[in-house]
Structure 1
């Protein structure tokens, strides 16, 4: 049903805006080593480690591969038909929050029950904490994802 979907330019821009590109490994607010455009692991599944560095070209390559994986995860989890903007917003969310959190979320349950349900916006907004505290960047990101989802 959603097998043909790929993250659109609006979704890519959203992820790039909020992740930015960092060529040196850094600890994200949740305490996970991260590199490039918010990647916490490499293509082979190896985690990012302290002290690692990559080039901009490598960051772009890594992001493309990791993003495809998240697209597949969203396709497997969502059983309702989606628009391209809905799909792209959910990929951004899952890229940031992780597949396990997406799969257990009320957001996913509501999307699968009725993708047009307006209360889905409030489900995006709930995911605003990192490292145990509310982060203004996550508040803005969830609003941007919700806006894309409903556009």
Structure 2
């Protein structure tokens, strides 16, 4: 786990101590934590939010390394970019994506073009996702 990835997720997700529905309609709390344990009116502390974040990022990275073992040696920037992408969209979308094929072939240029396509939530193009993908692109292209 990298501090860069933690900072990325914190910056993009923001901290919400009470449960809310994200633009895709999913109950969310803390720094983008989702799951069966999140429901209407749930409240947590900042300490709990940080604990959930570390657990969620750890789980995300295990999934990323399993799906794309090559990325383990790709460097902090690329691990953080793909880790943030998977944290945001889920391992299922990554696992079945063209992006994964480019990552697995270490084709960072095409991966950077492909990742930019993932800017929609609930059928709408979101400026926050555009910015998030732009930052991920910068990281993918840094060695």
TM bucket (normalised to shorter chain) is over 0.9
- In the alignment, structure 2 segments of 5+ residues that lack a partner are none
Q: Equivalent residue for 1:19?
A: 13
Once the two structures are superposed, residues 9-34 of structure 1 have per-residue CA deviations (whole angstroms, 9 ceiling, x without a partner) of: 22221111100110000000000000
1:118-129 alignment runs, 5 A limit: 118-129=109-120
For 2:40, which of 31, 50, 65 is the aligned residue? 50
Which structure carries more helix by proportion? 2
Once the two structures are superposed, residues 91-111 of structure 1 have per-residue CA deviations (whole angstroms, 9 ceiling, x without a partner) of: 100000001001011111111
Q: Equivalent residue for 2:140?
A: 149
Q: Equivalent residue for 2:55?
A: 65
Query: What TM-score do you get using the length of structure 1 for normalisation?
Result: 0.88
Deviating runs (4+, > 4 A) in structure 1?
A: none
Structure with bigger RCO (C-alpha 8 Å, 6+ apart): 1
Query: How far has the Cα of 1:123 moved from its partner?
Result: 1.0
Aligned residues: 140
Q: Equivalent residue for 1:3?
A: none
Moved more, 53-62 or 76-85: 76-85
Query: What TM-score do you get using the length of structure 2 for normalisation?
Result: 0.93
- In the alignment, structure 1 segments of 5+ residues that lack a partner are 1-5
Native 8 Å contact 2:108 2:140 kept in 1: no
Provide the secondary structure at the position in 1 that maps to 2:43.
coil
